[in-house]
Structure 1
């Protein structure tokens, strides 16, 4: 019996500002894990979340 893959997958989103911003509060990159529906959201996910390193709400993009 073949196992059925679920529609929801777990993804990681990473802060886009941390890579280029030199005036950060602390070193590092903010990463969050979340899930997305593979059928409804086929492209890469972009969410605005709080980054503790930038100390602001920034855009977090899905990474591999």
Structure 2
């Protein structure tokens, strides 16, 4: 199955320690602004709000 051009890969980074921990995809048409998820950061050893990086 071919990959969709409307779902680019984005990297999520922890704003506290600046480590890039997760890679995910997002739908380009439906999610135009940067996405944020509450994920576990192994360096901080707690759940923090991870934001999309460029």
TM range (shorter): 0.7 to 0.9
Corresponding residue for residue 6 of structure 1: 5
Aligned residue pairs total: 51
The structure with the largest alpha-carbon Rg is 1
**TM-score of the pair, normalised by structure 2:** 0.84
Would you identify which runs of 4 or more consecutive aligned residues in structure 1 move more than 4 Å?
A: none
**TM-score of the pair, normalised by structure 1:** 0.72
Corresponding residue for residue 44 of structure 1: 34
Higher RCO by CA contacts (8 Å cutoff, separation 6 or greater): 1
Which structure carries more helix by proportion?
A: 1
| Unmatched tracts of structure 2, length 5 or more | none
Matched-pair contact (CA < 8 Å) for 2:11–2:20: no
Matched-pair contact (CA < 8 Å) for 1:30–1:52: no
| Unmatched tracts of structure 1, length 5 or more | 20-28
